[in-house]
Amino acid sequence: MRVEKVALDKTGSFSRIFLDYIASEPKLAHTHSFEPSVQGFEKALSYRKLSAAHRNTLVSVLKEQYEGITISESVEENINLLKEQNTFTVTTGHQLNIFTGPLFFIYKIVTTINICRELAEKFPEYKFVPVYWMASEDHDFEEINHTYVDGGKFVWETEQTGAVGRFTTEELAVLADTIPGKIEAFKKAYAESENLADAARNYVNELFGDTGLVVVDADHQELKAEFKSIIKAELLNQSAFKKVTERSEFLIKKGYKPQLNPRGINLFYLAEGLRARIEKVGEVYEIVDTELSFSKDEILALLDEHPERFSPNVILRPVYQEVILPNLGYVGGPAELAYWLQFKEMFDFFKIDFPVLMPRSFGLYVNRNAQRKEKKLGLAHEDLFADLDALKKKYVHSMNGKLGLDKERADVEKLYKSIHKLAHKIDVTLEDHVQAQYTKHQQCLDRIELKLVKA
């Protein structure tokens, strides 16, 4: 396979804030702690700490979650290594799209694994564990319930609601039998797992287990217990809203558009079949779109007894991640890294270490047929990212009339001018009809020209 590189800023596919971040633009210096480089990781190593108690809890939960799964020696070793103070993680996260969803799910994980391998070579006195963080508490089912295979769309239909990681997968197992191709790992995972989170852990382990990748499901009471102090601060003081808003205003002044807008309380209430926003109305905490409500004392008592009923949204999830993992870096896509740059002040307020932010790898597979067309049309690789209509116009213009129908248009125009004069002499009311026919012929030439470009 031939690999050729295209500069990201030549594709027109990435935001200015993302491109400036990876280029170490000075005006973004206060939005992160470390540069996205080996040197950045080296600095992070000197700062990052996680208590032995937190490490022991993490390992205990992971062993519980992996119970009943055949795992590789490298996964087992990595889970045990997380108890050691010289072991750190590099993490990526993604939704539980059925059958993995878009290809960048794979890119994220592969990037994370490769970073850990590079760090292991550079810093042999430390151990590095790649982690896939499942977005098991997400409740936007329509974003994950479909996949595309051979041009066909396959949709998972279910009446289940709430956190998608808790969804049972019987219906999904039936859907898997209708999808073409060798997908035995997915069929087995969906048929034999208790829920979607377990199924995802199973097939990700099947795909990447030999690399030592560890899958984390943070929808767990013991892990949430370690996050209680921040949940409490959010309920009482709405600290995340204040700090993220301040950082967003800073970015606006620097000429960037913030990716996210924080809410007053950046938490959901989580129960079976339910994940709903928590809003403070006066002195009462209301669960949106339900009849549930709590006084201050009631919701704090609930937090103390059932921290697992509180779920961080996209603003607080990164903080939760850094609380429970000995994490050095986060691997994300352009939009993710853009919104992480809004979080530094919030992390500082909560006294949580901010990780190295690393972009995932990017790739575009161009099959042989497409390569031939690219060559035939004289296109550059950068052109493959352009808007289709704009690309067509650019190509026709570049041909300087070789492929266009400019001469034919001129001939038609000359012909209709002659007809127009004749019509005017015979009956002036025929002029509108002649003009309409002229317009139709020009539109016909436009369609023919586009077909010539596609040929």
Amino acid identity at 162: G
200 and 318 inside one domain: yes
**DSSP at 360:** P
- When mean pLDDT is compared over 167-171, 179-183, 436-440, the highest value belongs to 167-171
Residue 111: pLDDT band with limits 50, 70, 90: very high
pLDDT, one tens digit per residue, over 188-203 is: 999 999 999 999 999 9
Sheet holding 274-281, edge to edge: 293-294, 284-287, 274-281, 267-271, 310-312
112 and 208 inside one domain: yes
Long-range contacts of 425-428 (CB under 8 A, 24+ apart): none
CATH number at residue 117: 3.40.50
183, pLDDT greater than 70: yes
pLDDT, one tens digit per residue, over 301-333 is: 999 999 999 999 999 999 999 999 999 999 999
In a domain, 110, yes or no: yes
157 and 66 inside one domain: yes
441 and 332 inside one domain: no
DSSP reduced 3-state for 127: strand
349 and 400 inside one domain: no
11, pLDDT greater than 80: yes
Inter-residue contact 358 to 329 (CB < 8 Å): yes
Select from 130, 128, 111, 152 the least CA-distant residue to 45.
128
Give the residue numbers spanning the domain of 45: 8-226+314-359
The sign of the CA dihedral 52, 53, 58, 63 is positive
Residue 410: pLDDT band with limits 50, 70, 90: confident
**Whole-number pLDDT of residue 201:** 98
170, pLDDT greater than 60: yes
Residue percentage of the chain with pLDDT more than 70: 97
Inter-residue contact 132 to 112 (CB < 8 Å): yes
Residue 358: pLDDT band with limits 50, 70, 90: very high
Inter-residue contact 232 to 301 (CB < 8 Å): no
Inter-residue contact 392 to 449 (CB < 8 Å): no
DSSP string for residues in 299-324 = HHHHHHH-GGGEEE-TTTHHHHHHHH
In a domain, 287, yes or no: no
In a domain, 412, yes or no: yes
399, pLDDT greater than 80: no
319 and 418 inside one domain: no
In a domain, 92, yes or no: yes
In a domain, 103, yes or no: yes
The pair of three-digit structure tokens given for residue 110, joined into one six-digit string: 């592969």
In a domain, 428, yes or no: yes
448 and 320 inside one domain: no
Residue 453: pLDDT band with limits 50, 70, 90: low
In a domain, 242, yes or no: no
Give the separation between CA 373 and CA 353, rounded to whole angstroms: 49
Q: What is the pTM of this model?
A: 0.86
Pairing of strands 293-294, 310-312: unpaired
110 and 164 inside one domain: yes
pLDDT, one tens digit per residue, over 223-254 is: 999 999 999 999 999 999 999 999 999 999 99
Residue 406: pLDDT band with limits 50, 70, 90: confident
Contacts of 324 (CB under 8 A, 6+ apart): 54, 57, 58, 218, 223, 226, 227
Select from 366, 358, 365 the least CA-distant residue to 109.
358
Residue percentage of the chain with pLDDT more than 90: 77
The pair of three-digit structure tokens given for residue 152, joined into one six-digit string: 């066909």
121 and 183 inside one domain: yes
**Whole-number pLDDT of residue 430:** 78
395, pLDDT greater than 80: no
**Whole-number pLDDT of residue 455:** 60
**Whole-number pLDDT of residue 152:** 92
400 and 343 inside one domain: no
2, pLDDT greater than 90: no
The pair of three-digit structure tokens given for residue 310, joined into one six-digit string: 């509180």
325 and 446 inside one domain: no
The pair of three-digit structure tokens given for residue 339, joined into one six-digit string: 């919104």
Rounded to an integer, the average pLDDT of 375-385 is 85
Q: Please indicate whether residue 94 or residue 404 has the higher confidence score (pLDDT).
A: 94
Number of domains in the chain: 2
Select from 9, 121, 98 the least CA-distant residue to 359.
9
In a domain, 377, yes or no: no
**DSSP at 168:** -
335 and 393 inside one domain: no
**Whole-number pLDDT of residue 403:** 59
pLDDT, one tens digit per residue, over 39-96 is: 999 999 999 999 999 999 999 999 999 999 999 999 999 999 999 999 999 999 999 9
**Whole-number pLDDT of residue 255:** 96
Inter-residue contact 283 to 270 (CB < 8 Å): no
Select from 19, 35, 30 the least CA-distant residue to 253.
30
